[in-house]
Structure 1
Amino acid sequence: MLDIAEELDRWVRQGRDFAVATVVATSGSSPRQPGAALAVDSDGTAIGSVSGGCVEGAVYELCRQALTDGACVVESFGYSDEDAFAVGLTCGGVIDILVTPVRGDSQDRTVLAAACAAAALGRTAALARITEGPPELVGRAVLVHPDGTHEGGFGGHVELDRTAAGEARAMLDGGRTGSVVIGADGSRCGRPLTLLVESSVPPPRMIVFGAIDFASALARVGKFLGYRVTVCDARPVFATRARFPEADEVVVDWPHRYLDSVAGSLDGRTVLCVLTHDAKFDVPLLAAALRLPLAYVGAMGSRRTHLDRNERLREVGVTEMELARLRSPIGLDLGARTPEETALSIGAEIVAARRGGTGASLTGAHTPIHHDGPPGTVGRIGEVA
C-alpha cells in the first residue's frame, strides 16, 4: 500500500475513511507485484491498481464491502479456463489480495497512517502486516523504523511483535518488499504465520555526468522511472537549472570530485550515466565509479572512443574485472538518433539490468515477460526484486 502513500496520507489528513487492497502474493504471469495497492474511499473514489485492469472491478467491490462491515479479507484471483471473461487474470497468473478497512474505528488506523506519512515524506520505514494466520490477527500491522523501534503491534503478542519487527528490519536493510513466514507465537517453528513486509526507502539515485542535450532528455526519463536525478558538469555555463528543470539537482563540479564527495551515500540501486565522452573528465570519474558497488555504470561514445577509453583506464590501474562492469557504448540498440530516443535506449538498458531482462523483442520469444531481477538486486517500495 505504500506505493500510493502520498494519496493515502492526504486522505488520512482529510479524515476520510477508506479501504485499501494490497497484493500480498503472486504466481505465474502477474502484472503487479506484492505491495501494489488500490484504495477506495467512502465516496467511491478509487486510486492505484492491483492488476493493471484485470480484476479491478471485483477488488473495488471488496473494498466497498470492507468499508461497510469493517472486516479484513484475503481473496485470490486467477485465470478462469471456463470463462475468460469471468473475474480473473487473463494473463494466466494468480494474485492474493489483502483488503483492509481504514475507518475511524479501525484498530490499526494510527499505525497505517504513520506508515503512509513516513513513505510520503521519503523516510525509511517498513510496514509489516499479517496476511495468513489466526483470523483475529489477519490484517494487523506494525511499523518498523531503521533503529529497530516499532509502532503498533499484534494485540498483546509481545514475542510475535518482537520477531516481526526483527524480520521487517532485515527486509528494510535491503530495501526489499516481500513475504516472511514465522511461527504464530513469534518462534521459528509452530503454527505458520505469514507477514507481508513493505519497505519504504528513499528513491534510488541517477547521476548524469555531462550537461548536454542528451542529459536533459535522460533526466526526464530518469524521473519517469522514479529516480532522484542529479546532473553534474564542471562547466557552469552549461550546468544550469534553466537547462535541466526536470533534474532534482544540478551540480557544478569536476565529475570525479563530486562522485568522491557523495560516494558514501550511494548504494546498490544507484545508476551513473557518463555522457561527457571527454577523457579528462571520463577517466578519473570511471576509475572511481567502477570500484563502487553501484547498480549500473554506463558511458557514452563511439566504439573507437570506447576502445581508447578502456586503454586509458587500464593505464591508471583499472582491472579487467572492473572494466567488465562498464556499459559502453551506453544503451540498447534501438536505432536511436535523437536525444529523446537515445535517453529511451539508456533507460531501457537500466531497466533490463535491474530486472534481468535480455533487451530482446518479446515477439516470437519464449522468455518470461516479467522478471524478478538478477540475484542480489533490490527494489524500491512497490517493487519486488
Structure 2
Amino acid sequence: MRELLDRLEEWYREGRPFALATVVSTLRSAPRDAGAVMAVTADGVALGSVSGGCVEGAVYELALEVLEAGRPRTAAYGISDDDALMVGLTCGGTLEVYVEPVDAAHYPEFPELIAALREGRPIVVATVVTTPDPARLGARLLVGADEEGAGDDECGPLPAALREVLAADRTTLVRRVGDALIPVEALGVARDEIVFVRSYVPRPRLLVFGSNDYAVAVARAGALAGYRVTVCDARPVFATAQRFPGVDELVVDWPDRYLAGTRVDARTAICVLTHDPKFDVPVLVRALRLPVGYVGAMGSRRAHADRLVRLREAGVTEAELELLHSPIGLDLGARTPQETAIAVLAEIVQARHGGTARPLSLTDGRIHR
C-alpha cells in the first residue's frame, strides 16, 4: 500500500470515499502475494492491482458494490486449472480478496495508519475478514509495535496486546516472508472467524558507500525496489544532492565510522562501491561482522583478490569472508552503471528471498514461492 499512500491520504483528507481491496490469502500460482491492494473511488478511479490483470475487472465491480452498500465483502477467485479461464484467473491459482469501504465513518483509524507509515513506525492491523456474524465483519484492531513484542526483523514485532487478542481466539500464526505479512487463520474458533493480520514494518535499508556513477545507479534501483536508501561518502564534493536526488539520506562521513553508529537489521543490504582500499577495507571489516542480510563490494577479480588479502590482514575470518558478495552482482553481462545496478539489485533480491538466480524458463515448479 505504500506506493499508493499519497493518493489514498489525499482522498481521505478530501472526504472522497474509496474501497480498498486487499488480497488476504493465495494458493498455488496466484499472480500477487497476500497484501496486494487496489483502491477504487465511487466515481470509478482505480489504483493498484490485486492480480496483475487477471481479475481486476471483477474486483473493480465488487469495490463499487461495497461503496454503494457501505459494507465490506470477501470474495474468492479461481478454483482449478480447468475452470480458471471462466473465473478469470488464467494462472490456475486461487486468491481471496477482502474489500472494505474507507472514509471517516467506516475507517476512523486510517489517519493513524497513514501517520505510522509516513514516520516509519511499525504498526499491526488485524481485521476480521470472515465471520458468520455480519456485524463482526470488518472489525479491526490497530496496535503500534512495542519493544517486548514477539517476532523478528523480517516480520516485525507482534505487540503483546494483539497477541492476547489472537490467543483469546485460539488462532495460530503463519509467518510469510517477503511482504511482512502475518495471516491468522481460525483454528477451531467457536465463531468460525478468520482474522487477517498485517504487520507494517519500516522499509528495509540499502546502505550505498561511494559516490561514483555506479553508486548513483544502485541508489536509484534500490529506491525503485522499495528500499530506504542511504548514500555515504567521505568526500563532500561528490556526495551531493545534485548527484543523488531523491535518496532518503545523504551522509558525508567516513563509511566505517557511519556504519558504526547506524542501526541495521537482517533485512539491511550494504553495497561498498568506493574502489578505494582506504575506504572499503575498514567498512567491510565492520560490515562483515554485523547481522545484516547482504554485503557486496565492487571491483575486478584482481581487486577482489587484493581486497581479500587486506581483509585477512585486518583480522577478518574465513567464515566472515564467505559472507562477502564480491565481485558484486549477478552475471548478467552488464556494461553500463544502470545495467550493473540491475545486476546488483538482482543479487540482493536473490539473497533475501532465496531464489535460484536461474532463468525461469530453465526451472520448474512454482514461480511464486
Q: Which residue of 1 aligns with 2:138?
A: 139
1:260 alignment partner in structure 2: 260
Distance verdict in 2 for CA 1:57–1:182, change over 3 Å: closer
Q: Indicate how the Cα distance of structure 1 residues 63 and 267 shifts in structure 2: closer, same or farther if over 3 A, else same.
A: same
CA contact (8 A) 1:231 1:251 kept: yes
| 1:109-124 matches, cutoff 5 A | 109-124=107-122
**Cα displacement string for residues 42-91 of structure 1 (whole angstroms, at most 9, x for unaligned residues):** 11111111001000000001011111112222111116655554333111
> What does residue 179 of structure 1 align with?
183
Q: Which residue of 1 aligns with 2:218?
A: 218
The residue identity in structure 1 corresponding to 2:275 is H
In the aligned structure 1, how far is the partner of 2:128 from the partner of 2:147? 19
Identity of aligned residues (%): 52
Higher relative contact order (CA 8 A, sep 6+): 1
* Alpha-carbon distance in 2 for matches of 1:221, 1:250: 16
Gap regions ≥5 residues in structure 1: 150-158, 372-385
Q: CA deviation at 1:182?
A: 5.3
What amino acid does structure 2 have at the position aligned with 1:59?
Answer: V
Are 1:183 and 1:191, in contact at CA under 8 Å, matched by a contact in 2? no
Shift of 1:103: 4.6
CA–CA distance in 2 between the matches of 1:160 and 1:183? Answer: 17
Residue 219 of structure 1 contacts residue 246 of structure 1 at CA under 8 Å; is this kept in 2? no
Shift of 1:237: 2.0
C-alpha RMSD of the superposition: 2.9
Please give the per-residue CA displacement for 1:164-186, whole angstroms capped at 9, x wherever unaligned: 499999989x98312123568xx
Matched position secondary structure for 1:6: helix
- Residues 322, 301 of structure 1: alpha-carbon distance in 2 compared, 3 angstrom cutoff: same
Per the alignment, residue 89 of structure 1 pairs with 89
**Corresponding position of 1:194:** 194
Cα distance per residue 1:208-264 (max 9 Å; x no partner):
1111111111111111111121111122222222222232222221111111121xx
Q: Distance in 1 between the 2:42 and 2:278 partners?
A: 60
Alpha carbons of structure 1 residues 234 and 102: separation in structure 2 relative to 1, 3 Å: closer
1:352 aligns with 2:350: yes
CA distance in 2: counterparts of 1:194 and 1:144, whole angstroms: 18
Q: What is aligned with 1:155?
A: none
Letter in 2 for 1:54: C
1:116-140 deviation digits (Å, cap 9, x = unpaired): 3432443321111112333332221
Question: In structure 1, how many angstroms separate the alpha carbons of the residues matched to 2:2 and 2:249?
Answer: 25
- Note the alpha carbon deviations across 1:280-325, whole angstroms, 9 max, x for none: 2122111110111111100011112212212221222212221111
Query: What is aligned with 1:7?
Result: 7
Alpha carbons of structure 1 residues 144 and 175: separation in structure 2 relative to 1, 3 Å: farther
Query: Match for residue 293 of structure 1?
Result: 291
Distance 1:334-1:160 versus aligned 2 partners, 3 A rule: closer
Residues 355-374 of structure 1: pairs in structure 2 closer than 5 A: 355-371=353-369
What SS class does the counterpart of residue 68 from structure 1 fall into?
helix
Per-residue CA shift, 1:125-164, capped at 9, x if unaligned? 1111112333332221111112399xxxxxxxxx999414
1:51 aligns with 2:51: yes
The one-character-per-residue Cα deviations of 1:16-65 (angstroms, maximum 9, x if unpaired) are 11211110000111221111111111111111110010000000010111
Aligned length: 353
Distance 1:282 1:161 in 2: 44
Residue of 162, 165, 169 corresponding to 1:163: 165
Range 49-58 or range 275-284, more displaced: 275-284
Deviates more, 1:124-133 or 1:17-26: 124-133
Q: Which residue of 2 aligns with 1:382?
A: none
SS in 2 for 1:363: helix
Conservation of the 8 A alpha-carbon contact between 1:175 and 1:201 = no
- SS of the aligned residue for 2:109 comes to helix
Mapping of residues 322-337 of structure 1, within 5 Å: 322-337=320-335
Q: Aligned partners of 1:2 and 1:72: how far apart in 2?
A: 22
Q: 8 Å contact 2:12–2:104 — kept in the other structure?
A: no
Partner of 2:203: 203
Larger mean Cα displacement after TM superposition, 75-84 or 288-297: 75-84
Q: 1:289 to 1:192 in 2, by over 3 A?
A: farther
Distance 1:56 1:168, change over 3 A: same
Q: Label 1:6 to 1:200 Cα distance change in 2 as closer, same or farther (>3 A).
A: farther
Structure 1 consecutive aligned stretches of length 4 or more whose deviation exceeds 6 Å? 165-172
Secondary structure at the aligned position of 1:86 is classed as: helix
Aligned-partner Cα distance in 1 for 2:192–2:162: 12
Q: Is the 2:185–2:196 contact (alpha carbons within 8 Å) kept by the matching residues of 1?
A: no
Secondary structure of the equivalent of 1:196? strand
The 1:301–1:36 alpha-carbon spacing in structure 2 relative to 1, beyond 3 Å, is same
Looking at structure 1, the residues matched to 368 and 190 of structure 2 have their Cα atoms a distance apart, in angstroms, of 34
Mapped contact 2:125–2:197 kept (Cα < 8 A): yes
